[in-house]
Structure formats: structure tokens, C-alpha cells
């Protein structure tokens, strides 16, 4: 058997806080610092601090929910609408070739967080290349602060065009 190593992930694994970021970060009030991009009534959108690609977002309910079937109707509907909003926003800001959507359910699937959240990751042809495998490096062309500001500008521009 051959092993592929992803050493950049250790920074994430060693930095997992004891508290639930999906419960606590929205309460802190500094959306830009905690990468909260959109707030809804029942759920919110947050940039992934350790993204797989630029524009990697997560949609989560405010309420600490472990499984899809625990979502109430308002949470379910709003989360789906926020995923649609994210898709539109990312298409305008980044022009990706496609998206990966994935729900993290349970602590093993959720990188240590048992709080349900859904990822939306923009994808481009050739975005997975030799760098992670051969050079132990993940290439992200922009800083998270830039991603946050870029998506906020795209949201503002979209609102003005309506």
C-alpha cells in the first residue's frame, strides 16, 4: 500500500478548539474576524479557515444540531436557500467550472465538530495537481481576508443590480 501525505492538515488538526465554532463564532459579533459571510434567521455562511480551494464556504444552523433529520423546517429551507445563494455568489466572484457539496455529520466527518454543516467548494478543471502530492504544498491563490472582501463586494454588487 502507498501512502499520500497531507502535512498541511496537521495545522488544522492541532488547532481544533474545545468549543464548537459553529455555536460560538456567530455569538462573538465580529463577523469579518470569524469569517462569517452571511447571516440568516436560522443559519449562517462561514468561510472555511482551512479551505480546499479559494471560496470554500460552509453553511450551518445556529442551533447545535447533529443530524439532518434534527433540522426543523425553517432551518432546512434556509440552509438550502443559502447554498443556492452561495452557488450564485461563487459563480459571479470566481467563475468555477463546478462545485462539490458535502454535509459533515458527526465528529469524525466534521473534523472534530459534531455540529452539522454543509460545505460548498468551488472547483476548476485541473485544480487538483501535482503540488499536494509531490511538493507537500496546497496552492491557494488568495488569502482568506481577500476571499472574504471579494465575496462581500460581490454580494453588495448583486444587491445593487436587483
- Strands laid side by side in the 36-39 sheet: 36-39, 43-47, 57-61, 117-123, 98-104
Cα separation, 155 vs 162, in Å, equals: 11
Known catalytic residue: 119? no
Query: For residue 110, what is the DSSP state?
Result: T
Cβ(95)–Cβ(81) below 8 Å: no
Cβ(144)–Cβ(123) below 8 Å: no
Given the residues 56, 64, 115, 117, the one annotated as active site: 117
Q: Which residues are catalytic?
A: 117
Amino acid at each position: 500500500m502507498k501512502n499520500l501525505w497531507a502535512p498541511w492538515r496537521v495545522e488544522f488538526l492541532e488547532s481544533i478548539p474545545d468549543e464548537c465554532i459553529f455555536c460560538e463564532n456567530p455569538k462573538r459579533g465580529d463577523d469579518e474576524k470569524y469569517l462569517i459571510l452571511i447571516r440568516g434567521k436560522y443559519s449562517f455562511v462561514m468561510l472555511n479557515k482551512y479551505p480546499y480551494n479559494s471560496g470554500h464556504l460552509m453553511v450551518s444552523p445556529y442551533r447545535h444540531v447533529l443530524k439532518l433529520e434534527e433540522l426543523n423546517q425553517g432551518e432546512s429551507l434556509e440552509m438550502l436557500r443559502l447554498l443556492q445563494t452561495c452557488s450564485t455568489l461563487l459563480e459571479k466572484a470566481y467563475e468555477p467550472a463546478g462545485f462539490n457539496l458535502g454535509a459533515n455529520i458527526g465528529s469524525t466527518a466534521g473534523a472534530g465538530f459534531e455540529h452539522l454543516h454543509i460545505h460548498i467548494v468551488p472547483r476548476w478543471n485541473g485544480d487538483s495537481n501535482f503540488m499536494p502530492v509531490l511538493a507537500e504544498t496546497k496552492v491557494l491563490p488568495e488569502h482568506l481576508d481577500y476571499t472574504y472582501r471579494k465575496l462581500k463586494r460581490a454580494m453588495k454588487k448583486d444587491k445593487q443590480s436587483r
